[in-house]
């Protein structure tokens, strides 16, 4: 049986026709940014890049959580893993990211207890089973992940778990869009907005950005037809000079978003200025744990101080995350830097642009 809500969005005949429409509509040279790493993967996997007319360049944006995590944050994770009696729990992507002088993978090989989990509930389980250890979850991600981590903190409180901690390096998408538009070298004609971040924050969260910059925006789902439809919408808006904030993923995204998830996130976190790899510090673009939940805040509990962090030499991840360069313009790409031996996070993460190029676009 066909999987519901899926096969329909992969119909190659409809895709062909939408591509024809895109070709007919697209006259000027334009640069569209897909903000989300999952879109990047889907675009490569489905071969959409090769099917689009030459007038359209697709750039991958800062929506790969591991990739935008700043080097000092990676170094803090590594430092935490060295604290006695700490068990680090994390999503898999982070393990291989090189810090200034180590990586979590190297630390694990050296005997540190670092475990990959599928969700924060697994981390809570580990904390329950290891009452003598301190379990730290590495909170990396955007508005999609942040509520799941907030929920774990609420659950830990309810269970009276005194040995569960989170280090929050969460980042928010709308402030990053503002920062991108404000960067001089960045030059984007329209945005394909992330599907699942938008599920949580809703179309309304982009309104201030849209009002300020009047840049064409389309929220898109992850199937090939979702993406093509959003591209068509953007092309038409650009060609007619009538930008809009469009939700073209209405089966999953509402205007208000997931209000319950937003509330849980706001109960536990407050916004803070944070540094993004490649972009620098963006005001109010991060989430830190509120005072009321300080007992679960790894930053407070372990007072980790990271001395000078250095980004990997020669790696241009930062410029890739802002659409200024593409991976083939990095001298290390495919030479010193491969998925087996990544130099920067954009080659590590399955959602990273360098990894996507390597996998689907090898030259």
Partner 1 sequence: MCLAIPSKIIKIKDNMATIDVDGVQREASLLLLENPKVGDYVIVHAGFAINKINEEHALESLKLLREAAAVIFGDQKEGIDSD
Binding site for partner 1 (CB under 8 A): 3-6, 8-9, 13-14, 17-18, 20-21, 24, 36, 38, 42, 65, 91, 93, 118-122, 141, 144-145, 147-148, 151, 155, 195-196, 199-200, 203, 221-223, 225, 229, 232-233, 236, 244-248, 250-252, 254-255, 258-261, 264, 351
The CA radius of gyration of the chain, in Å to the nearest whole number, is: 21
Q: Which does 317 bind (CB under 5 to 8 A by kind): ligand SF4, partner 1, none?
A: ligand SF4
Residue 136 phi/psi, 5° resolution?
Answer: -115, 125
Q: Which does 346 bind (CB under 5 to 8 A by kind): partner 1, ligand SF4, none?
A: ligand SF4
Sheet of strand 170-171, all strands in order from the earlier edge strand to the far edge: 170-171, 280-289, 269-276
**For 245, which DSSP code?**
E
Nearer to partner 1, 247 or 326 (CB): 247
Q: Which does 156 bind (CB under 5 to 8 A by kind): ligand SF4, partner 1, none?
A: none
C-alpha span between 131 and 42 (Å, rounded)? 41
At a CB cut-off of 8 Å and minimum separation 6, what does 74 contact?
Answer: 94, 97, 98, 99, 100, 309, 345
Q: Which does 330 bind (CB under 5 to 8 A by kind): partner 1, ligand SF4, none?
A: ligand SF4
Q: Which does 91 bind (CB under 5 to 8 A by kind): ligand SF4, partner 1, none?
A: partner 1
For residue 212, what is the enclosing H or E element?
helix 207-213
Nearer to ligand SF4, 228 or 346 (CB): 346
C-alpha span between 103 and 94 (Å, rounded)? 9
Residue of 76, 54, 95 lying closest to 309 (CA atoms): 76
321 near ligand SF4 (CB under 6 A): no
Residues that bind ligand SF4 (CB under 6 A): 315-317, 320, 327, 330, 332-333, 337, 343-344, 346-347, 354
């Amino acid at each position: 049986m066909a999987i519901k809500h899926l096969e329909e969005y992969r119909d190659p005949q409809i895709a062909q026709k939408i591509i024809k429409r895109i070709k007919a509509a697209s006259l000027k040279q334009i640069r569209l940014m897909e903000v989300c790493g999952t879109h990047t993967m889907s675009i490569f996997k489905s071969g959409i890049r090769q099917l689009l007319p030459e007038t359209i360049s697709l750039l991958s944006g800062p929506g790969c959580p591991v990739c935008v995590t700043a080097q000092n944050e990676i170094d803090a994770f590594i430092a935490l893993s060295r604290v006695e009696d700490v068990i680090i729990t994390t999503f898999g992507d982070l393990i291989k990211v090189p810090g200034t002088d180590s990586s979590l993978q190297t630390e694990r090989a050296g005997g540190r207890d670092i475990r990959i989990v599928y969700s924060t509930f697994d981390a809570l389980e580990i904390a329950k089973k290891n009452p003598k250890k301190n379990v730290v979850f590495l909170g990396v991600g955007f508005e999609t992940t942040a509520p799941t981590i907030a929920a774990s903190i609420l659950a830990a409180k309810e269970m009276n778990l005194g040995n569960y901690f989170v280090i929050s390096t969460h980042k928010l998408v709308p402030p990053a869009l503002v920062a991108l538009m404000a960067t001089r070298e960045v030059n984007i004609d329209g945005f394909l907005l992330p599907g699942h971040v938008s599920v949580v924050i809703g179309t309304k969260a982009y309104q201030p950005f849209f009002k300020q910059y009047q840049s064409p925006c389309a929220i898109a789902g992850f199937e090939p037809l979702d993406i093509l439809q959003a591209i068509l919408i953007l092309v038409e808006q650009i060609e007619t000079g009538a930008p809009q904030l469009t939700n073209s993923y209405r089966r999953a995204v509402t205007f208000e978003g997931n209000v319950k998830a937003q509330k849980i996130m706001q109960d536990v976190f407050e916004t803070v200025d944070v540094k993004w790899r490649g972009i620098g510090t963006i005001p109010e673009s991060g989430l830190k744990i509120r005072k009321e939940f300080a007992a679960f805040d790894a930053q407070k509990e372990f007072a980790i101080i990271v001395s000078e962090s250095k980004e990997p030499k020669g790696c241009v991840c930062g410029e890739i995350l802002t659409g200024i360069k593409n991976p083939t313009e990095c001298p290390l790409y495919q030479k010193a830097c491969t998925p087996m031996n990544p130099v920067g996070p954009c080659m590590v993460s399955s959602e990273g642009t360098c990894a996507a190029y390597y996998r689907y676009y090898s030259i």
